[in-house]
Each structure stands twice: as C-alpha cells, then as structure tokens.
Amino acid sequence: MSDAPRLAITLAQLAQFDEIIDARSPSEFTEDHIPGAVNLPVLNDEERAQVGTLYKQVSPFAAKKLGAALVARNIASHLEHYCLDKPKSWRPLVYCWRGGSRSGAMVHIFSKVGWRAEQLDGGYKAYRRAVLAALETLPAQYRYRVVCGLTGTGKSRLLSALQHLGAQVLDLEQLAAHRGSLLGNLPDAAQPPQKMFESQLWAELQKFDPSQPVYIEAESKKIGNLRVPDSLLDNMWQSRCIRIEAEQQARVTLLKEEYTHFLQDPAALNAKLEFLTGLYGREIISRWQQLAHSGEWNTLVGELLERHYDPAYTKSMLKHYPRYDEGLILQTDDLSEARLAELAARAIAWP
C-alpha cells in the first residue's frame, strides 16, 4: 500500500494537483469520472472480471496473486509510456472505486519513483457523494438570467454570443449533447451517462463568480434522456427571463441549418415523427411524413412549429416561469451572428 498520506475528500483540493489519474477500468471511467482526469487503468475490464471470477470461484488468495501480476504489468506499461516524461516535481492525485488497492498500488510505486503522488481517500465513491451534495446547494449561489424563446429563435446561438462577450454561460444542452426536444439528438455525438452529465455540470458551476449573473437557456426537467437537477431547476424557475422573439421565416431558416442531418435523411425524421401519432393522429403524421419525403421543408417546419412546438413551449414557460412576462424582450427578424452579438450586448446591459 501507499507510503503517502491519504486525503480527506474535498472537491476544492482537486485543483492543487498537477494531474488527476483514474485507475479504474475503462468502462467505469466512461460512466463517470472527475472532469479532466486521465484514465490509466491498473486492470482493464476483462482483467477485472477475470480477477473477480477467480475470487468467487477459487479463493481470494488466488485472485490476489493474479491481480498483483496484472496490476504490476499495467502500472509498468504506464510508467514506460504515459509517465516517461513526467518531471520529479510532478504531483498526481490517484483514485479508484473506493480508494483501495488499485489506486494504492499505483501511488505506492509512483512514490517510490520519487513523485509526490497521493491517493484520494474514499475514491470515486466519496467524490460522487460530494458532487451530489454540492449540486443540492451550489446552484443557489448564483443569479440566473434565463434565455427563453420559441423553438428556432436562436437561444443557443445567443448563449454563444453572450459567452463571446465575456458573460458567464451555462449551456446545459451542450453538456447534455442534445437540443432538448423530440428531434434533439445530435447526429455525431451520443449523450453522456447521467453521472457524467452531473460531474460536468458541477465542474462548470464551480467556475462562476457569484457576483455576476449566469446566462442559461430555459429547459424542461429532462434534456433527452438526462435529468436536470431539481435544485438548479428551482432556481431557474424563480429567475428573470430574457425572451428572444423572431419572425417565423427566420426561425424556419435557422432550424433547417441546425437540423440539416434530417434534411439529408428524411427516413430518420419520419421515424421520429411516429412518436407523435398519439398526439396528432395518423392522418396528420402521414401528411408530415409525406412533406419530409417530398422535401417540402419550409411547409413541414412551419406546421411543426405552429401545431406542436410553439403551443407546448408557451404552456411550459407560463407554468414554470412566473416572471416570464416581465423579462427583457429581444425582437428580431435577423438571426445572423452579427445581429445576435447586438442582442447579446443588450442582454448584458440589462440591469
């Protein structure tokens, strides 16, 4: 085991280290990890399963012998490759599932080399508990300006313009890799696991200055398959709103730009539209599917906005945001980058 002192878990201490090393298996790392950590597994998924099976079916002693050989071999590989150019002053923090043997073995060897390696007490489990506790209280430390607007009004682009001007922005849809609607899956990115989403959210919240507002897009309780923490939603719902209003043609043009993958694959869009059959009936869904098949995109997008998206969005806003009607209104028929930069400047200047 390690000769180094073990740390009591505090999230603030993580920034004190040159690097954070996750010694767990790749599948554990994929499900969730400390943001910014690098995965140097001491046992890969197959090896971990092999050792676990030996532990149950033969004996703990047999499992420990095999595990020690595998761990030593893997740590040696990391030393020969990833760690080869690390200076003597390098100070890594290493963790595994519970802060036990896997991270302990790596810290022990690193310490013998001469690096100031330390082990995270309690490991990932303690980190996860701390993140969940922080997400209960951290959102309340900030003042939010909630960007609202019907589908296609450029809310995400306005957030980007705000960020470009130096404002604090929390882009939940970017963290969730989803645009927040039935058709919101990104074509080139899967959503992260729920735990990873929460870790990324915690990491973003930590960066903000409580004396300055945080701009955030209005969202429902779920973004795709991911749940937004109640504590954050509660604070958003009580916040002031910035409402962007745009002409329908500008909205249609923007949506065709952002959902070009559906224009290129109408069959994929029509498969999604099937989920709306219970709401609108077979006749309307068949009409929309035919419009997609025929490439009549302006008509289809316009009807989807009028029949589905606009009523649902307006109902949700009035239900959850009591200050929705008293916010700043940004009206435009131009959703170009230059125009959104002007609107972002107006939003920042709003007292």
Q: Please give the positions annotated as active site.
A: 96
Neighbours of 232 (CB within 10 A): 22
- Report the alpha-carbon angle 257-305-222, nearest 5: 85
Q: For residues 223 and 175, what is the distance between their CA atoms, to the nearest angstrom? A: 10
180 close to 219: Cβ distance less than 8 angstroms: yes
Q: For residues 205 and 214, what is the distance between their CA atoms, to the nearest angstrom? A: 9
Give the DSSP letter string of 262-314: HHH-HHHHHHHHGGGHHHHHHHHHHHHHHHHHHT-HHHHHHHHIIIIIHHHHH
Q: For residues 82 and 113, what is the distance between their CA atoms, to the nearest angstrom? A: 14
Most distant CA pair in the chain, distance: 73
Helix (H) or strand (E) holding 328: strand 328-332
Q: Which two tokens stand for residue 234?
A: 């509660």
Strand order in the sheet with 214-217: 168-170, 214-217, 144-148, 240-246, 328-332
| 61 three-class SS | helix
